[in-house]
Structure 1
Amino acid sequence: MQKLLWGVDRFSTWIGKAFAWLIVALTALIVWEVFSRYVLNKPHAWVLDAQIMLYGTLFMTAGAYTLSKNGHVRGDVLYGFFRPRTQATVDLVLYLLFFLPGIVALTWAGWTYANESWAIREQTFSADALPLYPFKFMIPVAGAVLLLQGVVEIIRCVICLQQGEWPRREDDVEEVDVDKLKAMVHVKDEDIEALDRYVTKEQRS
């Protein structure tokens, strides 16, 4: 099971790193357009559309990569105090209630949206029109990869609930030093246990 989880992590990482090169293309395109516009006095109407599509693709494909690295924003100040099983319970509830419905809807609607765009060979509205349908197909692709990574995270939650600790990631990094944070805010283990019991009780009710 661990090899399967790591395999999906590697796939999401590969997707994220591959599309990260778009930032180089985006930077080069902007530099070239600034030079062309202000030095050569030859602006290009299609460049803004290309910039938006490149950035949009970069943004969408970064989702699964960030999730695989456990890098999305979280309120670690409170969450970090919870025991692993409580953390897994909170994560699992949020994945089932919000993540899965939202990403499934994004992928499904994105596929329909992209096919409609392909059917009419949709183009941008600039004077120098660019084909828009290849960009729109990135919506369901990015959604599907993010959904796959989300399923892996749900499996990790279930494993943590069973074993009492999080399964190890390939590149585990402790973003918050919990012990130092406890000492800094003068929190005792007894306080954390009481908070843990309270959260668990509230979730059950």
Structure 2
Amino acid sequence: MATVILTAAMVYEVLARYVFGAPTVWAFDIAYMANGAVFLLGIAYVLREDSHIRIDVLRNRLPARFNHAVQGGLYLLILAPFFGMLSWIAVSHTLRAWRSGEVETVSPWAPLVWPFYLCIAIGLLAMTLQLVAEGLRAVCDLGSAAAKDRP
């Protein structure tokens, strides 16, 4: 949905600016908010689909058991707590902005920022949950890789 909003806003802005000679005051705000939402709402999906870019030259030469242990430990002990903390901060910022009616102060349009903060919070929460799921999956795969190594 954020991609559709971003695309529609940019097409409208280009038409308004170059065809009608009347640029909008809101296009920049919609563009950065929708772009941020697309990015943050998509990172958990990309992790689930195992589509993140990584260099597998070393990883492919190491035993599967070691790779699962490193990935499980990294996801569960470092990344999930880090993203959990970021999620907590994002949720608290969202609630504060919603309660206070905070607006974007550097924009002539001055939109409310809590919807954008909410997208950030949802994306970070989804990433945290996906990191936990992938970490647990790696730990479970660690057990199955160890069983395959036994004679």
TM-score, normalisation: structure 1? 0.66
Of the candidates 132, 155, 166, which is equivalent to residue 136 of structure 2?
155
The answer on 1:85 being equivalent to 2:65 is yes
CA deviations 1:5-52 (Å, max 9, x no partner) are xxxxxxxxxxxxxxxx42233122112101111221111111100111
8 Å CA contact 2:83, 2:124 repeated in 1: yes
Correspondence for 1:203: none
Unaligned runs of 5+ in 2: 147-151
Whole-Å Cα distance in 2 between the matches of residues 119 and 49 of structure 1? Answer: 21
Q: Secondary structure of 1:164's partner?
A: helix
Name the counterpart of 2:18: 38
Matches of 2:135 and 2:29, distance apart in 1: 37
Matched, 1:145 2:126: yes
Name the aligned partner's letter for residue 46 of structure 2: T
Separation of aligned partners in 2, 1:141 and 1:77: 34
Query: Deviation per CA, 1:127-178, whole angstroms, max 9, x where unpaired?
Result: 222221111112221111111111111111111111107xxxxxxxxxxxxx
User: Partners in 2 of 1:155 and 1:132 — Cα distance?
Assistant: 35
Is 1:110 aligned with 2:106? no
Residues of 2 paired with 1:153 and 1:58: CA distance?
Answer: 21
Tell me which residue corresponds to 2:80. 100
Distance (Å, rounded) in 2 between the aligned partners of 1:88 and 1:34: 49
Partner of 1:54: 34
Over the aligned positions, Cα root-mean-square deviation in angstroms equals: 1.5
Task: Give the alignment of 1:12-23 within 5 angstroms.
Answer: 21-23=1-3
**Larger Cα-atom Rg:** 1
Taking the aligned partners of 2:140 and 2:38, their CA distance within structure 1 comes to 32
d(CA) in 2 for partners of 1:127, 1:153: 43
Unaligned 5+ runs, structure 1: 1-20, 166-205
Larger RCO, structure (CA 8 Å, separation 6 or more): 2
What is the match of residue 103 of structure 2?
123
Contact 2:90–2:120 under 8 Å retained in 1 = yes
Q: Which runs of 4+ in 1 moved over 4 A?
A: none
Q: Give the alignment's TM-score, normalised by structure 2.
A: 0.88
